[in-house]
Amino acid sequence: MTQRRDGWRGPILQHFSEASAKAGRLTVVSDPDELLTEPGVVERLAARGFELITFGDPIAFRYAYESRFRQHWDRGEATHLVVVIRTDHGDPKHIPHDLLEEAQENGRVLSFSLVHIFPALAPNAVAELDPQHFDALARALDKADPDNLGTNSTRDFILRHVFEIAPELIKQPADLLRVLLRRHYRSQTLPDGLDARFIEILTRDEKWRSWPLERIVPDREAFLAFLGERWPRFLQGQGLEVEVGREPAGPSISGPMNLPFDHDDVRVYMDNLFVEGLLEPTAAVRPIDDDRWFGVGIAGSPASSADGRFIHLLGELDSTLPDADCATHQDWQDYSLRWGTWVRLRWQTFPDRDPQSEADAVAFVDRVQAAFSTWLLRRFGPMSTLPYLPHPVLGHQVPHYLAHHLGQAGTERVALLVIDGMAIDQWRILRPTLERHHVDEHAIFSWIPTLTQIGRQAIFSGRVPMEFATSIEGTHRELQHWFNFWQDRGLPERAIQYLKPQGKKESFEPIEADILRAADDYAVRVIGAVIGLIDQNMHQVGLGTPGLHGLVEVWARTGQLAGLVDGLIQRGFAVFITADHGNVFGRGFGKPDVGATAQQRGERAHIFRDKHFRDNTAPMYPDAVEWPQIGLPHDYFPLIAPYGACFMPEGKESVSHGGIALEEVMVPFVRITESR
């Protein structure tokens, strides 16, 4: 097989030339495997003059069609629309008759599937893969050119060539640990079929049958717990003395107790796990004050201190900064979790660090923010087309993900807690209070601009912002959005609850009581609740981000969030935590005198309903970002302050949101269940 032009996308893109974009204005595509909505395909189609719209909800589709395309066509503008029909609406007959008839007349009703793209592979095995891996798969096929493969042979091919896992070469514990450490350190999720195949091949060898493979292969938290329970024994083997009264408890996860943590292939990951807070340093042995590598995993040792971790993680993040040109959204999701840990350490150690250390940190932050904003401007648009499985990518996908899992084992009841305004670095403060439970954490992108009325409505409606244009200026429709979403999926009204956030200066206890009271009703299957403590305080808090961290630390020490989660889990709920946006510190660089020309005048974003007004204001602030209308209403034009700045008088300072800083856009998405 020779390398095809445009790789695996070639057979699709050949049907979308610039000439065909000019020849007709409409194409209808049956796309059961969601190939056209892969970001690389979307970008290439946009460059050739094609715009995609997916057909799902008929009402939402009709609104998007009328507002984004029909008006352009009525004005005689050349815009080519591609209507993509996904798996649950694979039959073109579902779309409006007038559109289908026009596409048929021009011969523009097309169909694509994995069978046509990867004919040598079993389509059911390829369908399990996230499309982000298709490039690697295509390159491997180009080199290997295999005959037609069955399901197991396809999975073996994918394991070896896409994920670099060759089960037959795993001979010793260090080999297996290296494979699992590389995977789980990257938060890499493999399809269930691949995990099952990997375990099946391993257990043909008797020596692996005593390992808890069914738990530690697919489950990151279980694997980390497995390592953490064996770490003190390794340290004892290095000659360290056990602290009397702090002897480690017996393991909760079965399997061998002596692991080769000092093997070169294993050690290279272990120190990072402790530095990033994925493993907790043990207090079971006495601290050391020398430079032996395992000091980072011993509580009380200098290497495990906040300052030691800050320095180590700075070097790690600097060397792994995603490329602004070619990074994927998964690269930034993974990076943002580590970034949140570093930001937390930065402000935790700030009072004791020297000025040069902080100057280096500031320079590094500027590089990260520049790379992220450049990437967002190029890549944010295609992300709205991505599927919500295996994990959500954007906030509006959260309820779709919950609906997919509702009723499955462990998610018979679901509670979604939206902590308004919580950035990932603040989540890092709250995370340790939930250590009694199984916590599966990821990062998702907020909608831009990162304003409460956009982010929260997207989460509770399951829709992109342009689909709730009539309520985009406030949050008063959240309850109705939440009920509409779930009733559209067959739940009766009595099974749905929405709890609005506590009022300003109102304590946490009333909202906690309301949530648990709703959970006591056995008829309730889904709860959506807003916890407003962080957002309501960020605008008043002094001392910038350190001051906000101090407030969150006080809240964490109360154990209130952990108590609420405990109460929900005891009542049979799987608990999900996320945020509508994060927050960032900024200094005033001037406040535009825009009067009534701006619909909203925020500290990080000004919203204009007329493009000319926005364009006339932008030159006054050369570094401000004229954010494109990605997923926004047709009359919604944001002007966003650059990183570190606010639309405030010079000399004023604020912790706020609305922009495109990493801390504003990336927020946690966490599933919490009872420990197994």
Residue at which a domain ends, from 233, 265, 283: 283
Name the packing angle between helices 306-319 and 264-275 (round to 10°): 120
When mean pLDDT is compared across 101-105, 161-165, 442-446, 578-582, the lowest value belongs to 101-105
Inside any domain, residue 16: yes
Given strand 573-578, what is the order of strands in its sheet?
438-445, 666-673, 573-578, 413-419, 526-531, 496-499
Separation between Cα atoms, residue 76 and residue 611, nearest integer Å:
20
Answer yes or no: do 560 and 639 share one domain. no
In sequence order, the 6+-apart residues with CB closer than 8 A to the CB of 404 are 388, 389
**Average pLDDT score over residue span 547-564:** 95
To the nearest whole number, what is the mean pLDDT of the chain? 90
Place of tokens 């719209």: 53
Structural Rg of the chain based on CA atoms? 26
Answer yes or no: do 443 and 538 share one domain. yes
CATH of residue 26's domain is: 3.40.50
Answer yes or no: do 391 and 377 share one domain. no
Answer yes or no: do 349 and 426 share one domain. no
**Average pLDDT score over residue span 609-616:** 91
Inside any domain, residue 146: no
Q: From start to end of 20-175, where are the E strands?
A: 26-30, 50-55, 80-85, 109-111
Q: What is the pLDDT of residues 484-543, one digit of tens each?
A: 999 999 999 999 999 988 777 778 999 999 999 999 999 999 999 999 989 888 776 667
Answer yes or no: do 221 and 254 share one domain. yes
Inside any domain, residue 129: no
Answer yes or no: do 26 and 49 share one domain. yes
Domain tally, the chain: 5
Inside any domain, residue 149: no
Answer yes or no: do 391 and 368 share one domain. no
The more confidently predicted of residues 378 and 93 is 378
Beta strands at 653-656 and 584-588: parallel, antiparallel or unpaired: antiparallel
Q: Is the pLDDT at 266 greater than 70, yes or no?
A: yes
Residue at which a domain ends, from 262, 283, 304: 283
Q: Is the pLDDT at 600 greater than 90, yes or no?
A: no
Among 268, 266, 257, 366, CA closest to 312: 268
In this prediction, residue 89 has a pLDDT band, given cuts at 50, 70 and 90, of: very low
Answer yes or no: do 205 and 333 share one domain. no
Q: What is the pLDDT of residues 360-376, one digit of tens each?
A: 999 999 999 999 999 99
Inside any domain, residue 292: no
What are the backbone angles phi and psi of residue 485, rounded to the nearest 5°?
A: -60, -50
Beta strands at 637-640 and 438-445: parallel, antiparallel or unpaired: unpaired
Answer yes or no: do 326 and 245 share one domain. no
Name the packing angle between helices 478-487 and 398-405 (round to 10°): 40
Among 454, 473, 341, 482, CA closest to 394: 454
Residue at which a domain ends, from 263, 283, 303: 283
CATH of residue 457's domain is: 3.40.720.10
Answer yes or no: do 591 and 579 share one domain. no
Q: What pTM does this model have?
A: 0.89
Q: What is the pLDDT of residues 457-491, one digit of tens each?
A: 999 999 999 889 999 999 999 999 999 999 999 99
> Around 588, how many Cα atoms within 13 Å sit in the side-chain half-sphere?
11
Inside any domain, residue 132: no
3-state DSSP percent of the chain in helix, strand and coil, to 5 = 50, 15, 35
**Average pLDDT score over residue span 237-247:** 90
Given strand 109-111, what is the order of strands in its sheet?
50-55, 80-85, 26-30, 109-111
Q: Are 352 and 309 in contact (CB under 8 A)?
A: no
Inside any domain, residue 300: no
pLDDT at position 25, please?
A: 81
In sequence order, which ranges of 541-676 are alpha helices (DSSP H)?
544-558, 560-570, 611-617, 662-665
SS3 state of residue 148:
coil
* Full domain range(s) for residue 242: 169-283
Answer yes or no: do 326 and 263 share one domain. no
**Average pLDDT score over residue span 182-204:** 94
Bridge partners (DSSP) of residue 294 are none
Cβ neighbours of 253 (radius 10 Å): 17
Answer yes or no: do 330 and 354 share one domain. yes
Inside any domain, residue 257: yes
